[in-house]
Amino acid sequence: MFDLREILDNMGVAADFGGAGGELAFSRLGLCHIVAPRPCLSFVDDVRYIADVKDYGNIFLTSAEVAAQCPRLRAAVVESPRRVFFNLHNFLADGDAYRRPQRPNRIGAGCKISPLAYVADHNVTIGDRVVIEEFVSIKENTVIGDNARVRAGSVIGGDGFEYKREGGRVVAVRHLGGVVIEEAVTIASNTCVDKAIFPEDDTVLKKGCKIDNLVYIAHAAVIGEGSFLVAGTTIGGRAVVGRNVFVGMNASVRNGASVGDDVFIGMGVAVTADVGDGARVTLGRGR
């Protein structure tokens, strides 16, 4: 458990705890629109996002305006809640208590792992009969299920593109989560699947999904069972793609968007809002 008052003091961050009351201890970080096990620390930096809060029992970094309009929040009022939240994450990242514990690798029976592949020296679990081709890179905190295949040149579990501007400098947000690739998933060549940001979170590719060449899947995205992502697809961070979805060439799904089950997304489509089950989203007929 981490004490918010103590951490903000160690970071040199001024905070008003007037409306928080009681103990302000948390064990994990998460975003306000995600239901997370308590006790969790999150942030709300604009009154527009108050409606996204899923659990008022958790702790929040907020602005004075948000705290005034939503007295139900157990909140510490700080300047720039979003910036403080991610700086706090980076601050904790240097301590073993926040990161995932280091564990030895486990590799199942009947695997074919190219000697030209890279596998991190800890926190990698590989199931039975997995094929990993040449020049694949498997980073720490990766789990690969039985009968999966990762083709040449793909990177699994790399850091995502998450930066914050702070005054005149750019701060990289540390990635401490993982990747879970379930059984019978195929990942073709030169594809990148990034790990999640927070230690308890994963980017997940569910059973039997098929990922083509040159696909990018960002941090904490979830790809549903049996879905196909065709070459050039980009899936933004925290996006959720349902079961049996087809995403065509060079299509993209915005970060945080939700795509239902049995959806068809045509090539070149930019999905910028949630899509319901069974929908067909296309740019129109080509010649």
Dist CA 199 CA 93 (whole Å): 9
Q: How many other β-carbons are positioned within 10 Å of the β-carbon of residue 147?
A: 18
Q: Are 114 and 154 in contact (CB under 8 A)?
A: no
DSSP letter, residue 264: E
Check if 219 is active-site.
yes
Select from 187, 75, 77, 197 the least CA-distant residue to 130: 187
Dist CA 62 CA 40 (whole Å): 14
Q: How many other β-carbons are positioned within 10 Å of the β-carbon of residue 32?
A: 21
**Options 33, 122, 175, 219, the catalytic residue:** 219
- Say which amino acid occupies 166: E
The stretches of the chain forming alpha helices (DSSP H) are 4-11, 64-69, 81-93
Strands 137-138 and 155-158: parallel
Select from 120, 88, 85, 90 the least CA-distant residue to 102: 120
DSSP letter string, 136-204: -EE-SSEEE-TT-EE-TT-EEEE----EEEETTEEEEPP---EEEE-TT-EE-TT-EEEPPSSTT-EEE
Dist CA 153 CA 228 (whole Å): 19
List the catalytic residues.
Answer: 219
